[in-house]
Amino acid sequence: MDKHRIKLFIEKGTFNVGCVGPKYSAEELESLPQGRNLAQIGEILNHIREKYGDRVEVSIIDPRSIISIIDNIRYNIKSSKPTWILDGKKIFEEIPSWKELESRIDSVLAA
């Protein structure tokens, strides 16, 4: 059984000044766009883990990180938009519904 890989490019939900980031309450994080995105994505990642287990590996990558520069160029990643790469192909830019993502993953697994 082949393992499939999802790379999720999303800005991490922290704002750092120097090497120390401020602490935000749950309410403050929810008010930030990144906080809402992280909550939605967290639900989707739980669905992936529940349905696919070890068959699908997910890596979460901050597109502002220097280690992502090659992928940023290859897939035209915009740091402001969560971007989903499945087995080397960009499948979504923004946050898909679980059903949309599930359909894409299922089509790749069936191939």
Quote the pLDDT of residue 90.
Answer: 96
Q: What tens digit of pLDDT does each residue of 85-97 get?
A: 999 999 999 999 9
How far is residue 38 CA from its own chain's centroid?
9
Q: What tens digit of pLDDT does each residue of 38-87 get?
A: 778 989 999 999 999 999 999 999 998 899 999 999 999 988 889 999 99
Q: Is the dihedral of CA 57, 49, 101, 38 positive or negative?
A: negative
How far is residue 107 CA from its own chain's centroid?
19
- Residue 81: count of CB within 10 angstroms of its CB: 15
- Alpha-carbon dihedral of residues 52, 106, 83, 3, nearest 10 degrees? 50
Task: Please give the backbone phi and psi of residue 60, each rounded to the nearest 5 degrees, phi first.
Answer: -105, 125
